[in-house]
Structure 1
Amino acid sequence: MNRTFMKHELAITSKSRKNIPFIVFLGVFLFSYCLVILPNQETNETFRPIEVKEFLDNVHVEQSYREQKGYTGINVMSGVPVYATNAHYDTLYYAMLTAYEDHDFNRYLRLRTFYLEGHMHAFIGDPTLFTESPMPRKDATHLYYQTMLRFDDYLKNDYKVSYGMIHEKTGLQVLQNILLNYGMYLFLFCVIYLSSDILVRDRQYRTVLQGFPLSWYRLLNLKTLSVFLYSLLVIMGLIIAGVFVVSLQYGFGSFEMKVPVMIAQQFFTLKDYDVITTAQFLLKSLSVIPVLAYLFIRLNLVLSLLLKNEWLVLTVSSLILFSERFYFTRTSRELFGIDISYFPQTYFDFGKIITGEKNFLLNTETITYVKGIIVLLITILLIEGMLIIVSRIVNKRSFYQTR
C-alpha cells in the first residue's frame, strides 16, 4: 500500500500543471545562464587585450619622449623612477599579452601571480572594486588573499592551466560559486514550490484519497517522502545538466583544486586562511541540501494544514527562506539580542558557512559548520513537533471538509 501510494503521489507531482511549466522555466534559465550569461560574465581576472595594447602604445610613446628629452632618471618632484617603472610594466604586460594570445595560460598565470605579489596595495586600492561595499578595502584584501591562494594551488600542483580555471568557469568551479552565492536559495525555492500544494491539491480529489486506507500521519509522511525524492531528483538534474554544459565549454575542472576558507578573524592576513579541496566543499555543501529540503517540506505541511491554500503556503514559506535578507547587514551579529548563529535562516546559504565567508562578512567566529548542522536538526525537531500537534488538531476529515 505504501509503495502504491508513493507511485500515485510521484505521478501526480510529475504531471502537475503547476510543476511542469516551472521545470521548463528552470531548464530555460539554466541553459541561458550556461550559454549566454556565463561566457559574457567578466571577473576581476578578466584580461582585456585591446586595453592592454592601448596601454603599451601609450607607454612606448612616453618612453620615446623621455629618451629624446633625457628624462630617464628619477623624477625630482616625486622621487619615482618613472622611466624604469614604465620599462618594467612594458616588459611585464607585453609578456602577459603574448602568453594570453598564444593560449599559454600556465605562463600567463605565473606572470599574473608575479604582478599580484609585487602590487598588493594597488590591487587593494583599486577604486573599481567593491564600489557599493561599506568596507571596500577589507573586501578587496579578502579577495586578494583568496586569489593568491587559488593561483598558488594551480602553480604548485602543475595543473594544465586553462582560461576557464583562471576565471573560475570550469564546471566544478561554477557549481562551487553558485553554492557560495544564491544557488542554495534557488534549490530551496524549488523544494518550496514543488511541495507547496502536496496537501491542498487533494482537497479537489477527496474520493480518490479515500481509496487508500492510511492513517493521517502516515499519509503525511509518505507525501513528504514522495516530494522529497522528486525535489532532489530535479535539483540533481539541474546540477548535472549545468555542470555538463559548462564543462563542454571550459572543461570539468578537478576535485583536487583548492578552495580558500577563512578559519579565523584575528590578523586579517594569510594566517587567517586555509584551503580545502573542491571535493570537500561540494560534499559538505551538497550533503546539507537534503536536510534543508526536508525541513522546508515539513514546514510546508504545517502551513498547508493551517492555511489550506497553496499560494499562501508558497508565499509564507518563501518569506521564511529569504527572511535573513530583510535584516542582514555587515554589522547584524544579533537578532532580538540573540547571536544570529542560533537562528536557522543564518544557515540557508550553507556554502558561505563552509568557507567562513559569513564569519568574514560579519566579523565574527560564532557561525560554524557543526553549529549549523545542530541548529538545523533542532529546527527540524521543532517543526516535527508542530506537525504532530497540528495534524491532531486539523485531522483528515476536517482538512478535506469543504464549506
Structure 2
Amino acid sequence: MWAYFKFELKQFITNKKNIAVYVILLFFALFYALKMAPAYEPVEKVDVDEMEARYLTREEFLNTAKSNHWAVEYARAIFPQWNEYEKARMDALVQKDNVKYAEATANWYTYSDMLTYKSRDMFYNPAYYTYDNSYGHKDGHYGYSYSASRFEAYSKGATELSISVFEERTAIQTLQRLLHSYLPFVLFATLIFLTVDIVLKDRHNKSALQGFPIADWKKLLIKGSVSFLGTIFAFIPLSIGFIIIGIQSGFGDLSLPVPIYSYVEGNFTNSTMGEYFLKNSVFLVVWFLFLISLILLLSILVKAEFASVVVGLAIISAEWIYFEREMGAYTEVHRYPTSYVQVGQILTGYRNFVYESKSFTAENGLFIVGACAVVCIVLTFIISHFKKFKLLS
C-alpha cells in the first residue's frame, strides 16, 4: 500500500491541473495581500477627526441650545456622558495609552448602542445602511455590541495592542475575517478541482496500475488520503499572503479575542483566536472528508469529471439560492448541510443572527456534515465491491 500511496502522491503533485490550481491560489494570496488587504476599510475604525467632530457638535449644542422641548432636554441628559467617553478616547490616543483607549471605546460602544437601538430618531454608523440595507439598524446593533465586547476584552487582556489590532488589520485578524467571509468557499472549491480526476485519471494508466494488486476500496482510501493531503498543501501558497500582511500590519497573536454571539442571550462572550482557529480546523476537516468521499462516490458511479464538479460546486454554493434573512425562524434550513459552508460565521454565531435562529451551531453542523461524510464513505465502500464499478473497468 505504501508503494501505491507514493505512486498516487507523485501523480497528484505532477498533475498539471493541480499545479495550475496552486499557482492560482498563490496569485490570489499575493493579490489580496498587496492590493485588497491594505485597502480594507473597517466600518468601525480609529478616526480621530470623526471623534472630534462628534464631540464638538455635542459641546456646541450643550452650550447654545435654549429650548425646553423634550427632545432638547433629552439631548442635554445624554450628551455629557457620551462626550465624556468620546474625550477619553481622544485623550488616550494622544497619550498613546492603548489600554485606556480600549476601555473608553468599550464604554462608548455600549452607551451608544443602548441609546440608539430602541430609538427611531437615532442611527448607527452610516456604513450599516448602505445599499438600501433594510436591516441596517439590526446590523448596527450587532456591530456596536460586537465592538463593545471586543474592546472590553482588549482592555482586560494581556495581548499587545495597536491601531492595527483595533481595526482588525493584523494577519491573524485578517485570516479570521476571511474565514468569516469567502475563504471557506475558496478552500472547498480548491478541494473539488484537486480531487475531481483522482479516480478517473486511472483510465489512462491501466497498465501501470495492474502492477498494484490492491482491492479497489483500499485504492479509494489511499486516493482520498492523497486528496486530503493535497488540499492541506493548498495552505502553503495561501500562507505567503499571510506573511506579507503580517509584515505590513503585524501578525497579532492567538490570545486576541473573538466575540461569539449568543442568539438566546442576545449578547456576546469572548473566545480566543487559538480556540477559534482550532474549532475552524475541525469543522474544515469534516467538510473536506465529506466532499472527498462524495467525489470518490460520484467518480465510481457516474465516471464523469463534469458531474463531480457540478455536484461539488452546487453543494458549497446552494445556500445562495435559498438564503433569506430571518428565514430560520419559520423554516428548517438548519437541517441542510449546505447551510454550514460558512464555517467561520457558524462558530461566531453570526449565522444565528442573520437567520434569526438558535439552531445554527457548530455541534449541529459537525453532526450533519459528518453524517453525510459517513454515508458517502459507507456507500463508496459497498459499491466498490461490485464488478460493474471496478476502477479499471
Tell me which interval the TM-score lies in, with the shorter structure as reference length. Answer: 0.7 to 0.9
User: After the TM superposition, which residues 12-91 of structure 1 pair with which residues of structure 2 at under 5 Å, given as runs?
Assistant: 12-48=11-47, 55=53, 72-75=64-67, 79=72
Query: Whole-Å Cα distance in 2 between the matches of residues 112 and 274 of structure 1?
Result: 17
With over 3 angstroms needed to count, the CA separation of the structure-2 counterparts of 1:377 and 1:114, relative to structure 1, is closer
User: C-alpha distance in 2, partners of 1:370/1:85?
Assistant: 43
1:380 aligns with 2:378: no
CA contact (8 A) 1:74 1:82 kept: no
Q: Which moved more, 1:131-140 or 1:321-330?
A: 131-140
Matched length: 385
Change in Cα spacing, 1:352 to 1:87, as seen in structure 2 (3 Å) is closer
Q: Structure 2 matches for 1:238-387, cutoff 5 A?
A: 238=237, 240-266=239-265, 268=266, 270=267, 273-333=268-328, 339-387=332-380
Equivalent residues of 2:82, 2:111 under 8 A apart: no
Higher-Rg structure is 1
Letter in 1 for 2:296: L
Q: In the superposition, relative to structure 1, how do residues 344 and 156 fare at CA in structure 2: closer, same or farther (>3 Å)?
A: same
Are the aligned partners of 2:346 and 2:360 in contact in 1 as well (CA < 8 Å)? Answer: yes
Equivalent-residue separation in structure 1 for 2:81 and 2:138 (angstroms): 29
Contact (CA 8 Å) 2:195, 2:295: kept in 1 or not? yes
Separation in structure 2 between the aligned mates of residue 88 and residue 137 of structure 1, nearest angstrom: 23
1:88 Cα deviation after fit: 9.1
Please state how far the C-alpha of 1:265 moved relative to its aligned partner. 2.5
Q: Work out the CA distance in 2 between the residues paired with 1:285 and 1:57.
A: 41
State how 1:117-266 maps to structure 2 within 5 Å. 117-120=110-113, 121-122=115-116, 125-126=123-124, 127-131=126-130, 132-157=132-157, 159-235=159-235, 237-238=236-237, 240-266=239-265
Q: Normalising by structure 1, what TM-score?
A: 0.83
Equivalent-residue separation in structure 2 for 1:108 and 1:334 (angstroms): 39
Q: How far apart, in 2, do the equivalents of 1:118 and 1:89 lie?
A: 7
Q: Indicate the percent of aligned positions where both proteins have the same amino acid.
A: 24
Q: How many Å apart are 1:130 and its aligned residue?
A: 4.2
Call closer, same or farther: CA 1:295–1:118 in 2, change over 3 Å. Answer: closer
1:195-219 per-position Cα deviation (integer Å, ceiling 9, x unaligned): 0110112212221222211111111
Query: 1:263: Cα distance to partner?
Result: 2.7
Q: Distance in 2 between matches of 1:27 and 1:361?
A: 32
Distance 1:88 1:361 in 2: 32
Superposed displacement of residue 103, structure 1: 5.6
C-alpha deviation, 1:28, in angstroms:
1.1
**In structure 1, distance between residues paired with 2:139 and 2:80:** 31
Q: Which moved more, 1:300-309 or 1:221-230?
A: 300-309
Distance (whole Å) between structure 2 residues aligned to residue 88 and residue 263 of structure 1: 28
Cα distance change, pair 157–74 in 1 and its aligned pair in 2 (3 A): farther
2:329 and 2:357 in contact (8 A); partners too: no
Q: 1:18 to 1:51 in 2, by over 3 A?
A: same
Deviates more, 1:140-149 or 1:109-118: 109-118
Amino acid at match of 2:350: E
Q: Give me the whole-angstrom Cα distance separating, in 2, the residues matched to 1:104 and 1:252.
A: 20
- Which amino acid is the alignment partner of residue 380 of structure 1? A
Letter in 1 for 2:29: L
Question: 1:317, CA displacement in angstroms?
Answer: 0.9
Kindly tell me: are residues 200 and 98 of structure 1, through their superposed partners in 2, closer, same or farther at Cα, counting changes over 3 Å? same
Could you tell which deviates more after superposition, 43-52 or 76-85? 76-85
- Does the residue aligned with 2:169 lie in a helix, a strand or coil? coil
CA change 1:250–1:5 in 2 (3 A) is: same
**Distance in 2 (alpha carbons) for counterparts of 1:151 and 1:391:** 55
Q: Do the aligned partners of 2:103 and 2:152 also contact (CA within 8 Å) in 1? A: no
Letter paired with 1:146: Y
Q: Is 2:110 the partner of 1:112? A: no
| Residues 367 and 114 of structure 1: CA distance in aligned 2, closer, same or farther (over 3 Å) | closer
**CA 1:18/1:122 → structure 2, altered by over 3 Å: closer, same or farther?**
same
Partner Cα distance (2:173, 2:164) in 1 = 9
CA contact (8 A) 1:170 1:250 kept: yes
Please give the alpha-carbon distance, in whole angstroms, between the structure 1 residues aligned to 2:158 and 2:377: 50
Shift of 1:175: 1.6
Letter in 2 for 1:279: G
* Worse overlay, 202-211 or 186-195: 202-211
